[in-house]
Amino acid sequence: MNKFEVRFLISSFFLMILSSEAMAAGNGHGSIMDLFAPTVNVSILIGVLIWKIKGPLKNYFITKSEDISNTMERASLKSKEAQLMYEGEKRKSEHLTEEMKSIQIDAQKDVQHFEKAISKETDDKIQKMKSDADSKIKADKKAVLDELNAELLNQVILKTKTTIKTNKDYQKKVSSKLLQGL
C-alpha cells in the first residue's frame, strides 16, 4: 500500500466516526435518513476493501485454480497409468495357467534331457572303466606269465646244470658242442 491509500483509509475511518457522533446527537430520535450516512460509510469501506483486496484475491484464486487443474491432470495421468497397469496384470493373470503349464512342460523336457545326458555319461564311464580294467588285467596277466616263464626257464636251466654236473656223458657232449660253436 502506498501513502495515498493509507491516508485515504484513515480519513474514511475518522469520517465514519465523526458522522456517527453527529447522528447520535439527535437525542435518540431516529429516522431512515439517520441510516443514510452509515450506509454510505459502509459502502465506501466495502468498496475500498474490495478495491484493495481484489488483486491479491484474484491472484490467489487464479493460483489455486491452476494448482487444482494441475492436480487434476496429474490425477488423470496417474489414473490412466493405473488402468494400463491393471489391464496388463489382468492379462498376465489370465495367461498365468498357460504359462505355468508351459513352464512345467519345459521343466519336464529339461529333466528328461538331463536324465538322458547323465545316463549316457554314466554308461560311457562304465565302458571306459571296464576297458581300463580289462587292459590292466591283461597287463598284470602278461607280467605274471612273463615272470612265471622266466622262473620256469631258470628252473629248467638250473635242473639242466645239475643234470650236466652229475652226468659225465652230458658234460662231454656239452663241451664238444660249445667248442664246435666257437
Report DSSP letters for 52-89, one per residue.
Answer: HHHHHHHHHHHHHHHHHHHHHHHHHHHHHHHHHHHHHH
**Amino acid at residue number 159:** K
Per the model's pLDDT, the better-predicted residue between 162 and 31 turns out to be 162
Pull the grid cell for residue 109: 523336457
State the average pLDDT over residues 41-52: 87
pTM above 0.85, yes or no: no
Is the pLDDT score of 76 beyond 90?
A: yes
List the domain boundaries for the chain. 3-94, 100-181
Which of 157, 159, 169 shows the shortest CA–CA distance to 177? 169
The crossing angle, in degrees rounded to 10, of helices 3-24 and 36-94 is 130
Percent of the chain with pLDDT over 90: 42
Name the band, by pLDDT with cuts 50, 70 and 90, for residue 84: very high
**Per-residue confidence (pLDDT) for residue 142, from 0 to 100:** 92
Q: What is the pLDDT of residues 96-147, one digit of tens each?
A: 788 888 889 999 999 999 999 999 999 999 999 999 999 999 999 999 999 9
Please give the backbone phi and psi of residue 69, each rounded to the nearest 5 degrees, phi first: -65, -45
Which of 79, 59, 81, 82 shows the shortest CA–CA distance to 71? 79
Is the pLDDT score of 85 beyond 70?
A: yes
Is the pLDDT score of 162 beyond 60?
A: yes
- Report yes or no: 52 and 1 within 8 Å, Cβ to Cβ: yes
Contacts with 48 (C-beta within 8 Å, 6 or more apart), sequence order: 8, 9, 12
Per the model's pLDDT, the better-predicted residue between 1 and 86 turns out to be 86
Determine the Cα–Cα distance for residues 6 and 21; give it in Å rounded to an integer: 23
Determine the Cα–Cα distance for residues 82 and 76; give it in Å rounded to an integer: 10
> Taking all residues of the chain, what is their mean pLDDT, rounded to a whole number?
84
Is the pLDDT score of 19 beyond 70?
A: no
Name the band, by pLDDT with cuts 50, 70 and 90, for residue 27: low
Name the band, by pLDDT with cuts 50, 70 and 90, for residue 77: very high
- Report yes or no: 5 and 52 within 8 Å, Cβ to Cβ: yes
Q: Among all chains, which residue has been given the C-alpha cell 489414473?
A: 79
Name the band, by pLDDT with cuts 50, 70 and 90, for residue 20: low
Q: What is the CA radius of gyration of the chain?
A: 64
State the average pLDDT over residues 65-83: 95
